[in-house]
Structure 1
Amino acid sequence: MVLAVLGAMVIPAAETAAETAPAPAVGTTAGAAGQAARLTLTDGTVVNVDDFSFAGATGTVRVGTTTRQIGRGELRDISFTARQAGQAAMATGAADMQAWKERAERMLERFPDCNSILLLDEGEYTYRADGTNVSKYRGVVYIAKDEALGQGDLTIGLDPNRERVRVLHARCLDPDGVLHTLQPDQIQVSKGESGGVFFDQNQELSFTIPGVTVGAVIDYSYETETYNPFDRNFFQSYFFFQGGEPVGDSILRVRMPSDKPLYHLAPNCPPDKAKPVITQEDGQTVYTWTFTDMPPIIEEPYMPPMRDVLPAVVFCLQKDWKYFFDRMKPMFEKRFTLTDAVKAKVDQLIEGARDVHEKIARLYLFCQKEIRYISIKGNLASNQVGHPAEETLKNKYGDCTDKGMLLATMLKHIGVEAYPVGIRTNNAGRAIRDLPIFDANHCITQVRLDGRVFYLDSTATDYRYPYFRDDDHDTTIDNPLREEIASIPLPPPEDNLTEMTRTLTLSADGTVKVDYVSKQNGTNEANSRYSIRNLKPEEYLREVRESVAGLTPDYQLEIASHSDPLDFSGPFTIHSAYTLNRFTPRSGSYLVFEIPFFRMRFGEVSLAKRTYDIVYTTSKKRVETIVINLPKGFAVKYLPQPLRVKNAYVEFEVTYDQKADQIEIHRTLAFPQRVIPVKDYGLYKEALERIARSTEERIFLEQVEGKEASR
């Protein structure tokens, strides 16, 4: 049956003849006060109730454990027989469920290790002539292992001011052939979880399908009616046809008024599946995409986000961005306003700054540190363009859009052209920009200065100017104020650099004294600042000790220090010093020396073959200088050979130079690209494995007869 959410009350509504399979009985029998009934309201809405009775001009309706009053004037028609007939019809359904189970058993022979099988994955979207829309989903799942039992727990989010959710049916055929059906009083409607920094007005409808166990088949369907859309010309979605479990049938259907075009793309779909089957039904144009018998996606290390792998269809009403830029630009302009309060704060922050870059750095740091990240959303304006800059400044909190707007507005006061821009972070998959799809999940600030275009992200509190979050790199932005789509380039590896200097003093008994200093920028620096500022001093000390103890339990830690993670005036630095007692093994007159923390491992090339690209969040570089002071009385017997490896995806070089009683090693490793195409995996794997092997080599020192050797 259908359950409609009216406010916070769950009311069973009319069963529909359009269901693809008979739905189960969900209601209970009528109580003593009345009978189960089907009510038609004066606005045409049809609802089913478990118990209905009249007392004068007021009726009482009960759904499960919920009771409410309804006036006679709200009712157009009351039918007791239709409701009872509907319940009887929906009580059947075990036969078609058994057919699903038989199909699952056949598929299980092909995929014996799967946790579950998605037998039917069916989505239907209907755009109405009045601009409202309805989306319907049906899923049929076979539970193969305990790990999949949670699929019987469903939660559906909704905005009660704009949406109604109806559960069409929810049932389970257990391994013994018993059909279990959802009851109305088993459905809960609650305020959506806001989390620590997210606040909105959404609700959640949730339920647990009864009888779910290993070997069961569950079948559920629900629809969401958007009766009050933000914009009646806004209709879009993104539907995926595959996932981490085998799929029997995956079907997408989009219904449009015959006079309304639909624009669509099919990312990752094979050519023969990219185009829909188009039919005409009852004044509607119906677009249908169908996939059948799809294997599960097998995850690989460093693979792309699922969005960039799964076959999908994305659709909308507009062919370009003009409508939405026209719609959004005035909203941005209204909030992108310099007020006296904003000007005064900017003047205070930049006082005494040497140049424009120091001014930008101060404003950037202020928006990062002094404006807390809290998201409060409730309408199109706050969702897409945020709040006015002065409001965010006064509140001292805001989300990414609010922070992006505030920083851009503050920069305007110092004569720097800047804009809040929407992006989809690279760890969430590529944005669709060939069609006007609202799939941005983040907002940052675009800066235009001296002919350069660069970006700042004030939600990331540990990045030092001019660096910004790595998941913003190599993405596409939309800028409503400039009415443009643009790309954020991948920064050079030098913008994500770690420089390390190690001085190693080796004694004849194999003891090694180590002095280590590093400085960083970009994401490496931000990650270090974040992790260390969240550790107590004793916790940091413990982590350093554990790291050194991984080399040998016989050590002394002399120094474990770092610069202030909240001081953004310069690069973040780390300094440590420790002694590894008798670390280097001795064999006769030889010391066989392995440089501490010198080995490199690359888990991304652990597979013999790959199906998907290797994807990082950004480029990076590491530069090392290692000075080894030799023990008295020892000479170098063997030094590893220098090595240089370079291709489009990795650059590596290591050199060994002996100078009197010292060995000086210089090593550089850079990854200039973020994505390594699967076609070049063999080349990349060979290069990284060659690099890894070079880091396993030892240095051989020989005690020279007649020379003094300290022990």
Structure 2
Amino acid sequence: MNKQQLVLLLLSFLAQKTISQNYNFGKLNESHFEVKLTDLQKKASAAILFKNRTSKFTIEDDREGWFVASTHYKVIKVLNNDGLNEGDISVRIYKNDGKEERVFDIKANTYTFTEGVLKKTKLNKKDIYVNEINNNWNEVSFAIPDVKVGSIFELSYEVYSPFWKIDDLVYQENVPVLKYHSEVFLPSFFTFNRFKKGYLPSQSNDQYHWKSVNISTSSDGGYGSVSHRSGLANLSFDQLESTLDLTDVPALRKEGFTNNIENYRGSLIYELASYEIEPGNKVQISTDWDNVSQQIFDNKHFGKAISDRKFLNAEANRFRQIGTSKSESISKVFEYIKKSMAWNGKNGKFAEKSLKEAFEIGSGNIAEINLNLVALLRQAGFIAYPVLASTKAHGVPSYPTLEGFNYVLAVVFLDDEYILLDASEKLAPPGVLPNRVINWEGLILRKNSTPKKINLFPTIKSRNDILVDATLGADGVIKGKYKQRGTLNEALEMRNDMLLIDKSNLEERKFTEYQLADISNFKIDNTSLDRPFTIGFDFKSDAFVEKIGSKLYVSSTLFLKEKSKILLSEDRLYPIDFEYPKVHRKSVILNIPEGYKVESLPKPVNLTLKEGELSYILNVNVQNGNVQIILEETINTALMRPPSFSNIKKFFEGKMNAENQKIVLIKK
């Protein structure tokens, strides 16, 4: 080792030593209340002063074998009332096949420092509760005692797991983390893949050390170099020791244009790749997407379920005999499954019962519904396949794993094109997916064939067009007609938003949303799912006109203006999600009251991002005593990368400023 390496190693050791010395459970004092926060950190509801995690494989005897022991320690300062909920703690523990994780040695203290007096309040063991969530999860929960604004609390606990897994190292929280330290110890018998999640820079420090432990044993074992000693065996092996240190980790803040924020939380994921407890007997665990997809397809509740489709012969014959085009036949099959089966709200990649049983019952989980759709399409003579997908709530699979998907779609090929289908969405036409599953890519599964990735984002822009034709009276009251028209995904959102609630409630919501004095003649046009969805109503309002002397100041967009800023952060490390490509167009025709003329109009605006992903125009025209304003926003992509954030923020700020302009009318 050269001199430079020795210095770096010493500095690293001292840094870790300082971190561990600064924070020891039960030993916090007045100095911890003097920790300096940046101006940005002070704006948070709380700050994690220190977060520590240690996970290591441990063995005590050859009968119980290896288990994973993890210690958790966290120190949090509450900065305002919103931070008080940081004191509500829950720890999930896994159980399966008669084995379960256990939580030990739960401890917590709250420290308050007022008028030079330090007070410490301990957690009472009686205030710790264990609840069963489901067959695989329990939850240990407790509330940190006596938490107040300005107080600091610490908590510590240990988790013993018989499952050979390392829980994700999560170093980014919803509040800032001033210091993070973790250590993971992996014996050479176990090999793990590591994947980084999120966009924060992080780098583990890995070192190998020779380890020796004594275990109780009753017979010879294959644990490396073993020598017996009165019922004890000495086990020696090489061990990977991986440390991760970070400082001033920013809070993960959710704001506009975000899908599942958990996809971007700074974390280090450990996946068991293989283990070799006995020399020469290596067991491979991790896999690739080909293997994952084949395992899923070969499952009797997936691929085999599609093959057993003779029960659909009668229905398939009817669709084959209908003298319509192929696209019309696909639509009829799609509508038939939608009407015949109701989604029970459960996701999943496997059918829980046979497709025949689910079809006859008329309800099922997402796999049962869309696998039935694939089966009927195939039986009717179409080329159709199941598509594995993941909902936004489930996240984006970052590495090959059976747990990466929780949803099944159908895809049918027609000539050189394909159509994605989800029969659980009653109000969607063919080719339109619900927003919950428009999540990056899916996998088309075919028997004994390599899975094929398929883009789940729409390629055709949806439209949302609003037309307001209004007349302004000299008293400042506006009366007029409102018409809104949506296509594709915009139409689906409108249908789900408006058709599933009572009409009177819908009128009341629009009344409140737009701050209108009156709504009448509310109409909905939803003649067919493959046509635009349209609503319209008459309205009256005086909320968007201000009369000062001889002038009328009119909001240029009336009640259609954006309500608030949607991008507040100065920067952003995760993608901007617009859900799908779209065009939003607002047209306002305002009839000027008799005796008034235009003094000033909003200035035209034309905003375009360099690559053309976003554009916005505002045009104004006066003709025959009418002011005509057209605003059109075009989003040509579903996702944009973080480096574009500053320009995107400026774009929306420009849009907001444009729509804040006034029409000024003056008496002749």
Aligned partner (choices 144, 156, 174) of residue 244 of structure 1 = 174
Confirm whether residue 307 of structure 1 aligns to residue 273 of structure 2.
Answer: no
Aligned partner (choices 526, 529, 533) of residue 568 of structure 1 = 529
Distance in 1 (CA, whole Å) between partners of 2:352 and 2:636 is: 35
Distance in 2 (CA, whole Å) between partners of 1:96 and 1:401 is: 50
Alignment check: 8 A CA contact 1:350 1:363 kept: no
For 1:42-441, what aligned pairs fall within 5 Å after superposition? 97-99=25-27, 105=33, 107=35, 115=46, 117=48, 119-122=50-53, 124=55, 126=57, 134-142=67-75, 144-145=77-78, 147-148=83-84, 151=87, 153-161=89-97, 163-173=99-109, 175=111, 182=125, 188=130, 190=132, 192=133, 201-208=135-142, 213=147, 215-226=152-163, 238-245=168-175, 246=177, 248-251=179-182, 253=184, 255=186, 257-258=188-189, 261-268=191-198, 273-274=203-204, 276-281=206-211, 282-283=236-237, 285-286=239-240, 288-299=242-253, 301-302=255-256, 305-317=261-273, 318=286, 320-331=288-299, 332-346=302-316, 354-368=324-338, 370-374=340-344, 384=350, 387-426=353-392, 429-433=395-399, 435-436=400-401, 438-441=403-406
Distance in 2 (CA, whole Å) between partners of 1:468 and 1:97 is: 51
Task: Using the TM superposition, give the Cα deviation of residue 357 of structure 1 relative to its aligned residue in structure 2, in angstroms.
Answer: 2.9
RMSD after superposition: 4.1
Instruction: Tell me the TM-score normalized by structure 1.
Output: 0.70
Counterpart of 2:138, as a letter, is E
Instruction: Tell me the TM-score normalized by structure 2.
Output: 0.74
For 1:651-666, what aligned pairs fall within 5 Å after superposition? 651-666=615-630
Q: Is the alpha carbon distance of 1:539 and 1:694 closer, same or farther for their aligned partners in structure 2, counting shifts above 3 Å?
A: same
Q: 387-396 vs 99-108, which deviates more?
A: 99-108
Task: Using the TM superposition, give the Cα deviation of residue 447 of structure 1 relative to its aligned residue in structure 2, in angstroms.
Answer: 3.1
Alignment check: 8 A CA contact 2:208 2:238 kept: no
Confirm whether residue 693 of structure 1 aligns to residue 647 of structure 2.
Answer: no
Aligned partner (choices 650, 656, 663) of residue 614 of structure 2 = 650
Distance in 2 (CA, whole Å) between partners of 1:588 and 1:217 is: 63
Q: Is the alpha carbon distance of 1:349 and 1:545 closer, same or farther for their aligned partners in structure 2, counting shifts above 3 Å?
A: farther
Structure 2 stretches of 5 or more lacking a match? 1-22, 112-118, 212-235, 274-285
Q: Is the alpha carbon distance of 1:690 and 1:166 closer, same or farther for their aligned partners in structure 2, counting shifts above 3 Å?
A: closer
Distance in 2 (CA, whole Å) between partners of 1:131 and 1:420 is: 42
Aligned partner (choices 630, 636, 658) of residue 672 of structure 1 = 636
SS at match of 2:303: helix
Task: Using the TM superposition, give the Cα deviation of residue 393 of structure 1 relative to its aligned residue in structure 2, in angstroms.
Answer: 1.4
Residue of structure 1 equivalent to 2:491: 525
Counterpart of 1:320, as a letter, is D
- Per-residue CA deviations over 1:632-654 (Å, capped at 9, x if unaligned) read 56555544443322223321223
SS at match of 1:438: helix
Q: Is the alpha carbon distance of 1:188 and 1:244 closer, same or farther for their aligned partners in structure 2, counting shifts above 3 Å?
A: closer
Confirm whether residue 478 of structure 1 aligns to residue 443 of structure 2.
Answer: yes
Counterpart of 2:244, as a letter, is T
- Per-residue CA deviations over 1:362-383 (Å, capped at 9, x if unaligned) read 4434545653333779xxxx76
Q: Give percent identity, aligned residues only.
A: 12
Residue of structure 1 equivalent to 2:10: none
Q: Is the alpha carbon distance of 1:386 and 1:461 closer, same or farther for their aligned partners in structure 2, counting shifts above 3 Å?
A: same
Distance in 2 (CA, whole Å) between partners of 1:547 and 1:323 is: 51
Q: Is the alpha carbon distance of 1:325 and 1:558 closer, same or farther for their aligned partners in structure 2, counting shifts above 3 Å?
A: closer
Distance in 2 (CA, whole Å) between partners of 1:437 and 1:107 is: 44
Distance in 1 (CA, whole Å) between partners of 2:504 and 2:49 is: 50
Task: Using the TM superposition, give the Cα deviation of residue 584 of structure 1 relative to its aligned residue in structure 2, in angstroms.
Answer: 4.6
Residue of structure 2 equivalent to 1:624: 586
Q: Is the alpha carbon distance of 1:570 and 1:188 closer, same or farther for their aligned partners in structure 2, counting shifts above 3 Å?
A: same
Alignment check: 8 A CA contact 1:642 1:654 kept: yes
Task: Using the TM superposition, give the Cα deviation of residue 488 of structure 1 relative to its aligned residue in structure 2, in angstroms.
Answer: 1.2
Residue of structure 2 equivalent to 1:578: 539
Residue of structure 1 equivalent to 2:430: 465
Task: Using the TM superposition, give the Cα deviation of residue 324 of structure 1 relative to its aligned residue in structure 2, in angstroms.
Answer: 2.6
Task: Using the TM superposition, give the Cα deviation of residue 244 of structure 1 relative to its aligned residue in structure 2, in angstroms.
Answer: 2.4
Q: Is the alpha carbon distance of 1:503 and 1:169 closer, same or farther for their aligned partners in structure 2, counting shifts above 3 Å?
A: same
Distance in 2 (CA, whole Å) between partners of 1:253 and 1:267 is: 17
SS at match of 1:604: coil
Distance in 1 (CA, whole Å) between partners of 2:471 and 2:322 is: 46
Distance in 2 (CA, whole Å) between partners of 1:96 and 1:641 is: 62
- Per-residue CA deviations over 1:251-306 (Å, capped at 9, x if unaligned) read 25263553x64333334476761564444543364352422444341525237524
Counterpart of 1:488, as a letter, is N
Counterpart of 1:244, as a letter, is N
Task: Using the TM superposition, give the Cα deviation of residue 576 of structure 1 relative to its aligned residue in structure 2, in angstroms.
Answer: 0.8
Alignment check: 8 A CA contact 2:469 2:589 kept: yes
Q: Is the alpha carbon distance of 1:126 and 1:98 closer, same or farther for their aligned partners in structure 2, counting shifts above 3 Å?
A: closer
Q: Is the alpha carbon distance of 1:136 and 1:546 closer, same or farther for their aligned partners in structure 2, counting shifts above 3 Å?
A: same
Q: Is the alpha carbon distance of 1:617 and 1:287 closer, same or farther for their aligned partners in structure 2, counting shifts above 3 Å?
A: farther
Distance in 1 (CA, whole Å) between partners of 2:626 and 2:476 is: 16
Task: Using the TM superposition, give the Cα deviation of residue 661 of structure 1 relative to its aligned residue in structure 2, in angstroms.
Answer: 4.1
Distance in 2 (CA, whole Å) between partners of 1:353 and 1:367 is: 20
Distance in 2 (CA, whole Å) between partners of 1:451 and 1:126 is: 53
SS at match of 1:97: coil
Distance in 1 (CA, whole Å) between partners of 2:32 and 2:452 is: 46
